[in-house]
Structure formats: C-alpha cells, structure tokens
Amino acid sequence: MRAAPRSPSFRPLPLAFAFAGSLACAVLLGESTSGELAGAACPEWGRGSAFGAKYGASAELDAQIGAFVQAAYDLSAVVRTARGQVVASCRAMGRDLRADPAALQAEDPRRVCGAVSARIDEILRGGVKVQVRAVPPRCTVDANFEASCQGQCSARLEPAQIVARCEPGKLAGTCRGTCTGRCEGTCSGACSGACSATDAAGRCRGACEGTCNGTCSGTCYADCQGTWETPRCEGKLEGPSAEADCYAACKARADAKARCTPGKVDVRASGAAEARRVADTLRRNLPTLIMAQVRLAGQIRQDLVVLKETGALLRGQIRGAGSHAAACVAAAANAVAEATVTVSITVEASASVSGKVGAGR
C-alpha cells in the first residue's frame, strides 16, 4: 500500500467514517454517549423512526435501510434493558447474600454476577443444599405487526418493480384497462360466474362472483391488460435479495417487541442458617436471569447475526446514496456490533449464577 502524501492542510474524513470512529470510542465510554453520537449523525435513529424515512437512495433501498436501522434500534433497546435487569437482579442478590460490596458497584455484569456466584459457592461449601426447578419464560410474537412491517417493504417499491417481480397470479390493485381476474367492485364486461346485475345486452354491470373480463371499479386481482396503479404483491417478490433482507429486519423487529411472560422457579434450600436467605433471594431474582438467558441467547442473538450480514451488504449498496444513508447504516451496524457483545457478556453473567444452582438453560 502506498503511503498517502503529507499535506499541511487539514483534510476531513467523510461523515460515515468519522462517525464510525467516534462511535467505536463511544462504546468504550458508555452506551448513552454512543446513542447521542448516533442520533446526531442519523436523526431517525435518535427518534426511533427510521422505517419509512428517506435516505436519498431508491425507494426499494430506502425501505431496506429503514427496516435495518429500525430493527437495530429495537434490538439494541431490548439488549440494553436485559443487561440492566440482570445487573439489578445480581446486585439485589449480592446484597441479600452479603457478597463483595465493591464488586456489586461495578458496571460489568460479569463482575457483579460473578461476586454473587462466588458467594453462593461459598455458602454451598458451608453445608447449604439448594434444589431449583425452573419453568422457562414464554414469549409471543405479534404476527400482525410483523405482517404490517413486511407490507411496507414492498410498498416502497416502484409500481413497475412490483409488477415485474411479483409471483405470477398474485398481483392486486387498480387496473386501468381490462381486468381478467377476480374483481372486488363493479365488473363491467363479461363475468364467468354469477353477476349481481346485467345490462340489456347481458353484460355484467355489478359484482362478479367469478372471473371478470372487463373494467373493474375496485380492486383487480391476478391480471390486468393495461396499466396497474398502486399494485401490491400478495405473494413472493422475485429478484434481488433486498426484499428478503427487509423481511428479515421486520422479523427481528417483531422479536424485539415480543411479549414475554417470566418463568417460575421452585426453590428448596436446607442446611445452614443461610438456607432461607438463599431460597428467598433466588425466588425473587432468578426468573430475571433465566429470562435474559433464554431470550438473548436464543432468537435475539440469531436476529443480530442476520442484521450483521445485512449491514455488511448495505455498506456496499449505498455507495453514491449520500452521507445521510451512510451515517444511518453506520450507526445501526455499530449498534448491532455493540449489542452482540453485550448479549454475550449478559448471558455469561446470568449463567454464572443460574448455573451455580442448577437452573441454567
């Protein structure tokens, strides 16, 4: 690699690269700082309203960028919340069990929960016996939310793109011409089926229960010999992977917004005088740790892997789209990387306690 010639003048970095470097430093300084930097470079990130925004690219790419950025934002929020809950629960257990006070004030979940794990180990060696039966938490994804989000993926395509890429026979919309399919409205022409009203010549002038071959005043399905207006695809869109990436981002958003019911734990402890204290604090705090393990180590981690791949692809696709698109993709990609590390740390911290009493995943 040739060395760049030195120049006495200052040459600023492109916005996306300058932001990425600043955000990398911010990860070391704290999450609030990184969030402020992301919001400054990409306003949509700061508002949490990335999906549906304009990024200076094509309509299709704008939809993909928006879905990616919003999914990264939503997952990051879930991961930060879980991390905070794990730290709070471990601190509570540590106070109950009189663990190392200095370690309980740390910000790293591994150190806080590690102090609790060490204290439990000490108590167990002192003669206390603990048995834990855990019922895992359950999370339910809102299928309607996911479907609505995915609908916006194709809604951002140009009409001609939807028509060209839609699975055969799955188009629907307004037909300016002859509809040769099902008509949801008034069919004016031939109807291969029952027609609610006809004219003197026997042509259909009403609702057609079958296939219409004529003009359709409402929504035409399947085929239009003319021009489609506001078409939508009710099947699969073929062609580039942008649609699949947008759909995957919508799935990640739905997972982030899933409603979860905490699991339950049955704790029995016997032995030394501290047995009751151990049992009580485990009943109160262990469900939170198990929730973090199940949720973060499962679907959330998988979603982050998919988003990491999407972000890498987008970095190559947005060249020429402008600094706004570059900054928002950089913000989301760095957030995904940060969340991935946080997931590993949080799961490890939680497991150090739950595993000590036989309640790991």
**Could you tell me if residue 2 is inside a domain?**
no
Note the pLDDT tens digit of each residue in 220-250.
Answer: 998 899 999 878 877 666 655 567 788 889 8
Q: Strand, helix or coil at 111?
A: helix
Residue 200: inside a domain: yes
The secondary structure of residue 272, as a DSSP letter, is S
Query: pLDDT confidence of 208, banded at 50, 70, 90?
Result: very high
Residue 214 — φ and ψ, nearest 5°? Answer: 170, -160
Q: What pLDDT sits at residue 341?
A: 96
If asked whether residues 25 and 105 sit together in one domain, one would say: yes
Q: Which has the minimum average pLDDT: 1-15, 153-167, 263-277?
A: 1-15
Residue 59: pLDDT above 80?
no
Residue 263 is assigned to a structural domain of this protein: no
Q: Which of 312, 300, 335 is nearest to 41 (CA)?
A: 335
Give the C-alpha separation, 319 to 20, whole Å: 16
Domain contains 246: no
What is the chain's mean pLDDT, rounded? 83
- Round to whole Å and give the CA distance between 190 and 71: 48
Whether 61 contacts 315, CB under 8 Å: no
Q: Greater confidence, 4 or 278? A: 278
Coil, strand or helix at 258: coil
Same-domain check for residues 24 and 112? yes
Residue 207 has pLDDT above 60, yes or no: yes
Q: Measured in Å, how far apart are the chain's first and last C-alpha atoms?
A: 49
Decide which of 68 and 9 is more confident: 68
Residue 46 lies in a domain: yes
**Of residues 32 and 299, which shows the higher confidence score?**
299
* 286/92 Cα distance (integer angstroms): 11
Boundary (domain end) residue, out of 179, 209, 233: 233
Task: Single out the residue of 131, 99, 134 nearest to residue 114, CA to CA.
Answer: 99
Mean pLDDT confidence for 101-107: 94
Are 53 and 92 found together in one domain? yes
**Lookup: tokens for 5:** 């010639």
Q: Which of 233, 260, 291 finishes a domain?
A: 233
Q: Work out the percent of the chain whose per-residue pLDDT is above 90.
A: 49
Mean pLDDT of 333-343: 95
Domain count, the chain: 2
Identify which of 278, 351, 284, 280 has the alpha carbon closest to the alpha carbon of residue 129: 278
One-letter amino acid of 31: E
Does 10 fall in a domain? no
Q: What is the pLDDT of residue 233?
A: 78
- Per-residue pLDDT band for 266 (boundaries 50, 70, 90) equals very high
Q: How confident is the model at residue 360 (pLDDT cuts 50, 70, 90)?
A: low
From the list 245, 282, 307, 264, the residue with the least C-alpha distance to 79 is 307
Could you give the CA distance from residue 235 to residue 121 in angstroms, rounded to a whole number? 56
> The domain containing residue 201 runs over which residues?
158-233
Pick the last residue of a domain from 182, 204, 233: 233
Cα–Cα dist 150/146, whole Å: 6
15 pLDDT tier (thresholds 50, 70, 90): very low
Confidence of residue 147 (pLDDT cuts 50, 70, 90): confident
253 lies in a domain? no
User: What is the share, in percent, of the chain residues with pLDDT greater than 70?
Assistant: 84
Give the confidence band of 1 by pLDDT, cuts at 50, 70, 90.
very low
Query: Per-residue b/e over 6-35, b at no fewer than 16 CB within 10 Å?
Result: eeeeeeeeeebeebbebbeebbeeebeebb
Residue type, 227: T
Residue 21 has pLDDT above 70, yes or no: no
Integer CA distances (angstroms), 31 to 26, 43, 46, in order: 7, 17, 13
How many Cβ atoms from other residues are within 10 Å of residue 151's Cβ? Answer: 12
Domain assignment present for residue 50? The answer is yes
- Assess whether pLDDT exceeds 70 at residue 203: yes
Contact 346, 109 (CB under 8 A): yes
Mean pLDDT of 71-91: 96
Same domain? For 37 and 79 the reply is yes
Q: What is the pLDDT of residues 117-140, one digit of tens each?
A: 999 999 999 899 999 998 889 888
